[in-house]
Chains A and B, each alone.
Chain A
Amino acid sequence: MKGYTGMILRVDLTTGKINKEPLPESLCRKYIGGRGFIARILFDELPRHIEPLGPQNKVIVATGPLSGQFVPSAGRTILGTKSPATRGYGESNIGGHFATELKQAGYDLIILEGQAEKPSILHIKDGDVNLLSGQRYWGMGAIQTERVLKDDLGERYQCLTIGPAGEKEVPIACVSHDFGRQAGRCGIGAVFGNKRLKAIAVIGTQDIPIADFRSALEVGKKMYQACMSHHALELWQKYGTSSVVSWSNRIGTFPTRNFQSGHFSSFTNISGIVMRERIVVKDKGCFACPMACGKYSRIHREDKKIYVEGPEYETAALLGGNCGLSNIEDLAYANYLCDELGLDTISAGSAVAFAMECFERGIIGVRETEGLVLRFGESEIVFKLLEKMGRREGIGDLLCQGVKATARVWGKGSEHFAMEVKGLEISGYESRNAPAMMLSYMTSDIGAHHRPSWAVTADITLGRNSLEGKAQRVVELQHLRPLFDVLGVCRLPWIELDISPSLYVKALNACTGMDKTIEELLEISERIWNLTRLFNIRENPGYGRHCDYPPGRWMGEPVQTGPTRGKTLSRDQVDHLLDEYYKLRGWDENGIPLPETLEQFGLFQEAKEIGSWKSD
């Protein structure tokens, strides 16, 4: 089928065996690409109840049918695995140029299996694929590895790398690409490290097949014209996601001091305005992207120039307001440390903030921190904790396992403010006065992340204090937004520049020769959503409603300061949201899909088996 290369690259790191397999057309028609491929393959190929950090786990590196095509921001690579952070379905994606290069080399996806004996690099040059020694790169930072790999192999290579955190199998380790972009969530970097896979380097010279070139060109032109004439384009080009900082703070959703509040009084010091004026040196875009929302920054530390991509909004939220950092250079340095160590800035920031609150409350003391006095806003303490987490030293060896695991060890009620759902730290929105956003976090299939549903606008338009219509909106978003991860494109041109989803459907049909409608694609997205839910149920005996609850802090504890001061949701309100959500999805009151729901989406075998998983 056109739009795809038609080839899967399967790499067994235990034996070194490399196989090229045809991509089944039925998989393309039923799951389209990217996230859809990942969900289906992980479900089918992973033995039940395997250890995420073990040779039986797999990592899928996937593209979509629009990756590498003439569509705005068509450079998305989607990675998936059984997550060591959550022990459930893990998925994260990354911008840049890797997906395009992989398709030009002739592959739609890579399946990584087994475990190498020694550090390795997967080297792909069109049809030539081999494993190189990664010994020389082991121990290097994630960004440094990319630099040295390009020096060794050639500048045109596109690379995925891990840092020391991934090598040491830190459950919040990320995969890095393009000198500062990350597939940050779910600990996929740790699975790379467990497989002793330091990097993948790819270069390709082939054309990507297109079914109807003229139609593809025409729809692509329309999309670019719409982007270029949009009034918000310049804002995004100039400030990127950092433009969200001031707004989020204004409405009281900016995580502050471990989510004690949604308003950071020093926000102007880390806002997009200050960032642009003080540290940004270059704008940076992904493949075929007119937005160029990436910001490359330069800071000075101990007489050295340090370059970092960012800080993005999420980093400003979790390492900035949430840890109390109120200086843009400090924030950028914390960002740099995470990038080189290969740590997810969201989970790492949340872990640091959690430790700070535990210390301030006397739950832990200097005995647990090896003499460090943890206070919000102390930048040197933040830097030290990040280093310790990335290298698994002292207190960092516990903190790097995430706030849920840390709270289990420290106890004394700390679970109440361990800000996670399903073991994944909550990303950048304090949600006690944003019920739709809270429900989005509660029900996200990977844990508390905003990618599948970012619903703060629904909270604003439908009423911040109201629960009415919120579950419906979250369900709609959870079908539409992940479609972009299926197609292999960035969602920002749709979200921020109003590019109509119908144009993406036209582009898909022109590139592949399919004849899909938006309704059919949304149905596929819903099929995938049910499948990832099933993965979580199958892999975690006893899985159900209790896994969808937010942390205790978000059920009954009022926000301390700012425009949402005093706001909270009760347990009854949270239950009301879940009841409505499960009903809309065709799941039972415990959040388990009903057999008839699964059959509706063609998941017949799963409908037969689900009863046996529940009783495990």
Chain B
Amino acid sequence: MEIRLEGLGPLKDYFPPEGHHSLFLEEARSLRDILEELKIPLEAFLAATCEDKVVELDYHPRDGETIRLIPLVGGG
């Protein structure tokens, strides 16, 4: 299956010039595993969204889905 991973704002530093990763996965994997493999620090983004809803790191993306990482700016 294929998923798309996008980093917004300053997170683009962790992505190739086109601003996203297209990933081919042989089996379903958690978002945490995917991000760790890509060496994207878990503390660098505030939230991950899929279809405009926030998902946790144990979420297993499905075929065709786009995951967006929203950068941390402030909070609190």
The residue in chain B whose Cβ has the minimal distance to the Cβ of A230 is: B9
Task: Specify which of A231, A314, A460 is in contact with B70 (CB 8 Å cutoff).
Answer: A231
Q: Which residue of B lies closest to A464 (CB)?
A: B43
Kindly identify which residue among A250, A427, A457 contacts B74, using a CB–CB cutoff of 8 Å.
A457
With both beta carbons as reference points, the residue of chain A lying nearest to B55 in the complex is identified as A273
Cβ A460 vs Cβ B73 within 8 A: no
Chain B residues with CB under 8 A of A427? 76
Residues of chain A within 8 A of B55, CB atoms compared: 273
B residues less than 8 Å from A495 (CB atoms): 73-75
Task: A428 to B75: give the CA distance in the assembly, Å.
Answer: 11
Please state if B76 and A251 are interface contacts (CB–CB under 8 Å): no
Interface residues of A (CB under 8 A from B): 231-232, 234-235, 238-239, 241, 243-244, 246-248, 250-251, 268, 271-273, 276, 313-314, 427-429, 450, 454, 456-457, 460, 491-492, 495-498
**Docked-complex contact B46 and A247, CB < 8 angstroms:** yes
Chain B, 43-67, contact with A by CB distance < 8 Å: what is the 0/1 string?
A: 1111101001111110000000000
Interface size classification for chain B: 20 to 34
The answer to whether B46 touches A244, judged by C-beta atoms less than 8 angstroms apart, is yes
Inside 8 A of A460's CB, which chain B residues have their CB?
43-44, 72
Residue in A244, A268, A271, A276 whose beta carbon sits within 8 Å of that of B75 in the complex: A244
B68 surroundings in chain A (CB, below 8 A): 231
Mind listing 12 A-B residue pairs with CB under 8 Å? Answer: A241-B75, A241-B76, A243-B46, A244-B76, A246-B57, A247-B47, A251-B42, A276-B54, A454-B76, A456-B76, A491-B74, A497-B73
- Residue from the list A243, A492, A497 in contact with B54, Cβ < 8 A: A243
Residues of A within 8 A of B34 (CB): none
Pairwise interchain contact B72-A234, C-beta atoms closer than 8 A:
no
Kindly list chain A residues whose C-beta atoms are within 8 Å of the C-beta of B45: 247
State whether the Cβ of B8 lies closer than 8 Å to any Cβ in chain A: yes
> CB-CB < 8 A to A241: which residues of B?
75-76
Best-buried of A232, A244, A313, A427 by chain B (most CB within 10 Å): A232
Q: How many A-B residue pairs have CB under 8 A?
A: 82
CA distance A165 to B52 in the complex (A): 41
Complex CA gap A276/B70 in Å reads 18
The 5 A-B pairs at the shortest CB distance, nearest first, are namely A495-B74, A231-B8, A244-B75, A251-B43, A454-B76
A273–B70 touching, CB < 8 Å: no
A600 to B46, CA, bound (A): 40
The CA of A25 and the CA of B10, in the complex, are separated in Å by: 42
Known: A232-B46, A247-B46, A456-B76. 9 other contacts (CB 8 A): A231-B9, A232-B8, A273-B53, A273-B55, A273-B56, A276-B54, A456-B75, A460-B43, A498-B73
Chain A residues, Cβ within 8 Å of B9: 231-232, 498
* A272 CA / B52 CA spacing, docked (Å): 13
Quick one: which of B8, B47, B57, B72 contacts A457, CB cutoff 8 A? B72
Contact yes or no, B76 A314, CB < 8 A? yes
Inter-chain contacts of B54 with A (CB < 8 A): 235, 238-239, 243, 246, 272-273, 276
Pick from B43, B73, B76: contact of A450, CB under 8 Å: B76
Q: In the complex, how many angstroms separate the beta carbon of A479 from the nearest chain B beta carbon?
A: 16
Would you call B47 and A235 a contact (CB within 8 A)? yes
Residues of A within 8 Å of B8, CB to CB, are: 231-232
